[in-house]
Amino acid sequence: MAQLNKKQGSIVAHCPGCRGGRSTFEWQIAGREIGVVTDTTSDNPWQTTCKRDFRLFRCAGCGMGAYGVILYKNYDDYPGSYNHLVKFYPESKQRLDIPKDTPQGITTEFREAEECFDNNCFRAAAGLFRSVLDKTMRANGYKTNQERNLYRQIEAAADDGIITQARKRRAHDEIRVLGNDVLHDDWQRISEEDVEACRHYCQRILEDFYDDREPVLKLLEEAGRVEKSSQEEEK
């Protein structure tokens, strides 16, 4: 969540241009304001008339522009005193950690889904997170004649002991079903909270398969999902 530096007037937030990295957004360059429109409002925490700035910012890391609304006491110049950040845009969600052994294509698709999520493209994000789950199953030997659909692949991964029964339920309810709704049903709005849960459990699935890879490979070999020689081919 974006935070206002109350003394300096800068804002610290996760920057989409820095791939979700936390960065400082500055409100002036070489001592000059980037841009601001100021009015007054009584709609504030102090229940009295105060200044309201609609202010432009710039990321100190990548140079990406941003927009913030800040309230502060009427008799002060910005950043003023008793200041309060009302709104800041755009702000990226903090990137979730992905195991280093995750295949690059799956990692890239997960990050693309996060970018959609950052930009409030929730349906696109849900579809991509479902795709990440599907590709993860396929990469680990679960795309067979008997397990053509994602439902059966998730069930088989739980039967093999790769994921827990609790994780299986989450994979169905939070990722597969939500993604199916987006891809196959009539258009309907989905909530940010639903996609956040989808993202969270998709990351957990990647951790189940790739965080401690060697024991997982042994289970996959015992289940006949991968050949023993594939351990070296993956690296």
- How confident is the model at residue 34, as a pLDDT? 96
> What local confidence, expressed as pLDDT, does residue 221 receive?
94
pLDDT at residue 230, as a whole number: 47
pLDDT of residue 229: 58
Over the chain (235 residues), the average pLDDT of each successive run of 10 is: 91 88 93 94 82 95 95 85 89 87 96 90 96 96 85 95 96 95 89 95 97 95 82 50
pTM over 0.75? The answer is: no
pLDDT at residue 64, as a whole number: 94
Q: Which helix (H) or strand (E) holds 200?
A: helix 192-210
Looking at residue 163, its pLDDT comes to 96
SS3 197: helix
The whole-angstrom separation of Cα 59 and Cα 44 is: 27
At 35 the pLDDT is 96
Residue pair 218/224 in contact (Cβ under 8 Å)? The answer is no
pLDDT of amino acid 115: 87
Q: Which domains does the chain show, CATH number per domain? A: 3-89 (no CATH), 104-225 (1.20.120)
Is residue 173 helix, strand or coil?
helix
User: Can you state the percent helix, strand and coil of the chain, rounding each to 5?
Assistant: 45, 20, 40
Instruction: Yes or no: say if 72 and 50 are a contact pair by the CB < 8 Å rule.
Output: yes
Q: Is 140 left (phi over 0), alpha (psi -120 to 50) or beta?
A: alpha
Instruction: Quote the tokens at residue 232.
Output: 């070296």
**Long-range pairs for 70-74 at CB < 8 Å and ≥24 separation?**
70/4, 70/9, 71/41, 71/44, 71/45, 73/46, 74/40, 74/48, 74/49, 74/50
